[in-house]
Amino acid sequence: MEAPPLPAASVSCRNLGKSGLRVSCLGLGTWVTFGSQISDETAEDVLTVAYEHGVNLFDTAEVYAAGKAERTLGNILKSKGWRRSSYVITTKIFWGGQAETERGLSRKHIIEGLRGSLERLQLGYVDIVFANRSDPNSPMEEIVRAMTYVINQGLALYWGTSRWGAAEIMEAYSMARQFNLIPPVCEQAEHHLFQREKVEMQLPELYHKIGVGSVTWSPLACGLITSKYDGRVPDTCRVTIKGYQWHKDKVQSEDGKKQQAKVMDLLPIAHQLGCTVAQLAIAWCLRSEGVSSVLLGVSSAEQLVEHLGALQVLSQLTPQTVIEIDGLLGNKPHPKK
């Protein structure tokens, strides 16, 4: 039986990379849930609890629920009436529509896509606009110039990358420096106990060299790292949602079963720290160098409160505990010779 979750603590802030922007070390993502999986009322409850606990970073994208996530988030923010200066909104541009001109990272789609997002969010600007995956069809100079333009026009305050390779991020930075344009400040990357290479090996070097920080997502591997699967797939979990057959296949694959076994191996450590495996996994993500914020995806306010309890676990993650976790996982990445 798993230990009762630690209660939520007030969320602290970190600098976004080496920029001056302060973001909560735990942010709230709207992928899957907002506009699709949960009701607007539940979404409002989740957002309210997050804000009241010090979460100031709310992440969305033009593609989430075909724009409904941005619309839902915008409606909630408008109804709450919170000071615009008290929270950070991020959105991602790439998949905007069916037409060739409605996707990718051309100057046209970056500008028009962002304006569409702002209209759905009912905001004058977003704090960070992310280029959601790299685009081989758009020259890097065009992308950097377009991002600089939307910032100079006041449509965004910063820009970042999402699912870009380290070499591509470095190219964008170099392009910005060469032409006196604005470089990206952070990369959004998947990071959890079974996805480690990029955030632990590649991004720290970029953080030290050019100040690019990390905003990471999927700390629980789409719910895999909760011990709830335990060799089976419950009827109520995310993998049973239409369109998530890929995740169900992943969970039920040989690798998925091995990962579930590793999660169960972590239970004694979680018990020792007085937390759940989910809280342990989130705290583990927060310890990585250069990580500015870890995005949480939740379907209820209760689940959010439990996940925020990870902050109390972070201070207990001693080097010895981390070594013990690495030993159980057996997947710690090492520098390539």
Q: Which residues are catalytic?
A: 64
- Burial bucket for residue 68 (CB in 10 Å: 0-12, 13-18, 19+): middle
Residue 2 CA, distance from chain mean position:
26
Q: 267 φ, ψ to 5°?
A: -55, -45
The answer to whether 51 and 88 have CB atoms below 8 angstroms apart is no
335: left (phi over 0), alpha (psi -120 to 50) or beta: beta
Beta strand 22-24 with 13-15 is: antiparallel
Q: Across the strands, what pairs with 295?
A: 27
Distance from C-alpha of 222 to C-alpha of 295, rounded to nearest angstrom: 12
Query: What DSSP assignment string belongs to 232-272?
Result: S--TTSGGGSTT-HHHHHHHHSHHHHHHHHHHHHTHHHHHH
231 Cβ contact list (under 8 Å, min separation 6): 257, 260
* Contact call for residues 145 and 107 (beta carbons, < 8 A): yes
Can you name the residues that pair with 214 across neighbouring β-strands?
187, 291
Residue 23, classed as helix, strand or coil, is strand
CB 247, CB 239: distance < 8 Å: yes
DSSP at 128: E
CB atoms within 10 A of CB 244: 16
What are the start-end ranges of the E strands in the chain?
Answer: 13-15, 22-24, 26-29, 57-59, 88-93, 126-132, 156-162, 186-190, 213-217, 291-296
